[in-house]
Homo-oligomer: A and B are copies of this chain.
Amino acid sequence: MAEIEWFDDLRVGMKFKTASWQLAASDIKRFAWEYDPQPMHLDEDAAAKTIFRGLAASGWHTASIAMNLVVQSRPFGRHPIIGMGVDGLRWTAPVRPGDVLDLEGEIVSLIPSTTKPHGSVVTNWAMNNQNGELVYTFSPITIVPRR
């Protein structure tokens, strides 16, 4: 496959795969203390009494890990990934201590700007855990420069 570098190199249907990320209980708690201080994310005993029945990552922690994995996979080449927004953000299963997470993505929309030297890319990303269970989906709208 030719190197992907510009909006013009992208095609609808192109697929991507990221590396994986293993999550520790200590990371879940540290993120939660700073950004989502709720019992199901902070403490095993308190979490056991919630509908999660045990410690689970903040959904925003899951989303942030997904961003890291997507950035490291460089789907659009050397250009920074500049997001305008996200559609279809859904948390579909709890993310637990020890889970190993990775993502697969597919480009579903490519719209060149009529006024600026870039285009807008929509990619459907799906994050699975080590059991192949879908835990998170999101479809970021990203700006990529044209050649």
Chain A: residues with CB nearer than 8 A to chain B?
31, 34-40, 50-51, 58-61, 63-65, 67-68, 71-72, 80-91
Contact = CB atoms under 8 A, between A and B. Distances in A.
Contacts of A31: 64
B80 A91 contact: no
Number of copies: 2
Contact of A38 (B40, B59, B80, B86): B80
Nearest to A63: B60
Contact of A35 (B65, B85, B91): B65
A91 B86 CA distance: 9
A37 B61 CA distance: 15
Given A34-B64, A35-B67, A36-B67, 5 more contacts: A34-B68, A60-B64, A84-B90, A85-B91, A86-B89
14 contacts: A35-B64, A35-B65, A35-B68, A36-B68, A37-B71, A38-B71, A38-B80, A40-B82, A58-B64, A60-B60, A60-B63, A83-B91, A85-B90, A87-B89
